[in-house]
Amino acid sequence: MVLQSLSFWLIMAIHIFILVFYYKVGHGHTRTDATTSDSAWPFLRSGTYSGFLGIMTSFCLVFQTTQSYTRFFEQYNACCRVISNSYAFATALRSLFDGNRFEGALEVLQELHRQSMAMLYLGFGWLPHYKTNNIHMWILERLESLELVTAAEQERILGLSGDALPFFEMYYAITHTLYRELELGHISERTLDRVNTYFEAVTVGLVSLYEYSNMPVPFAVYTLLNVMALGYLVVLAYTQILPSYFYSIIPVFLTVVCTLGLREVSNALADPFGCDDTDIPVLDYVAAVHKTCDEIAAWTVAQPKAGVKEEV
């Protein structure tokens, strides 16, 4: 990732250019560790300039990486809560709306299962990175092909404003279905509370992901850290030519890789939904949850054959 960065190659090019100019073109200068009175070459004491700036830059980059790491795992934990509670919700529905519970129980189970899976796809699919790259429209088409949304629901989703979160459409539909079954006497208030515990945990997890996505790292902080890191590396690229001859390419190379690498890792961790190697594959998670929950919804208890006694 760093070796593909324009900043890396620009700084290394600056360092190598100054090296060649200083030792091969500029009258054969020799190595020097201090300012000489008869030298016209501008001398920067590395301990005064690059050393002080390097300490500041290192401290700020470590602070940024720590905060980005915390931000990453908070979003990862939110994803895990959404996934685990989706499994729990599907299992609870399967036990509550078994086909033998009441007339039409299986249809209610299938309706709630469809709505919950659509909510999961819509919840993750409308995250800012996916929406910017039009992946949300692909997800909506996939939901239509999987028959997880009706034509009326799809029309309502497409008619929402740009800032609206379409998974709330499924949230309202699931809530309506559950309370309808409560009024019909098919489930008790205690049962409704238990199911709502899992359902609300899924909703809260999705909402927290959108709150993080809508609150990126402040632009001023991001810009300041970039200026500090690049400024430090440019000063280092100059100061290291004076005492180290062409061998300075090695320590400069390692310093640039480490500094820019830390910056790139911090930026990648701060936004874990995208195409980076460190990003969370949420759409793969959703596909796996959908497959497993389909199996849970379709699961049936094998009934013993008539006239055959079960062996104990």
- The answer to whether position 82 is within a domain reads yes
Residue 158 lies in a domain: yes
What DSSP assignment string belongs to 268-302? HHH--SSSSTTS--HHHHHHHHHHHHHHHHH--PP
Note whether residue 31 is domain-resident. Answer: no
Q: Is the pLDDT of residue 93 over 50?
A: yes
- Residue 113 contacts residue 93 (beta carbons within 8 Å): yes
For residue 110, tell me if it sits in a domain: yes
Are residues 240 and 203 in contact, defined by beta-carbon separation less than 8 angstroms?
no
What is the per-residue pLDDT for 49?
Answer: 61
- What pLDDT shows up at residue 77? 94
pLDDT for the residue numbered 21: 81
- Is 26 domain-assigned? no
Token pair listed for 60: 């700020």
List, for residues 161-211, the tens digit of each pLDDT value. 878 899 999 999 999 999 999 999 988 899 899 899 999 999 999 999 999
pLDDT of residue 175: 93
Contact yes or no for 260/37 (Cβ under 8 A): no
- pLDDT for the residue numbered 133: 87
- Domain assignment of residue 10, given as a range: 6-16+46-298
Mean pLDDT (whole number) for 277-302: 83
Whether the per-residue pLDDT at 264 is higher than 90: the answer is: no
By percentage, how much of the chain surpasses pLDDT 90?
28
In a domain, 123, yes or no: yes
What is the rounded distance in angstroms from the CA atom of residue 106 to the CA atom of residue 299? 11
Considering its fold, how many domains does the chain have in total? 1
Average pLDDT over residues 93-116: 86
Write out the two tokens for 126: 């409308």
Q: Is residue 152 part of a domain?
A: yes
Is residue 250 domain-resident?
Answer: yes
Lowest mean pLDDT among 18-27, 87-96, 160-169, 299-308: 299-308
C-alpha closest to that of 122 among 213, 210, 214: 210
Burial class (CB in 10 A: 0-12, 13-18, 19+), 48: exposed
| C-alpha span between 286 and 112 (Å, rounded) | 17
- Average per-residue pLDDT for the chain: 83
The total of other beta-carbon atoms located within 10 Å of residue 190's CB is 8
* DSSP class of 45: -
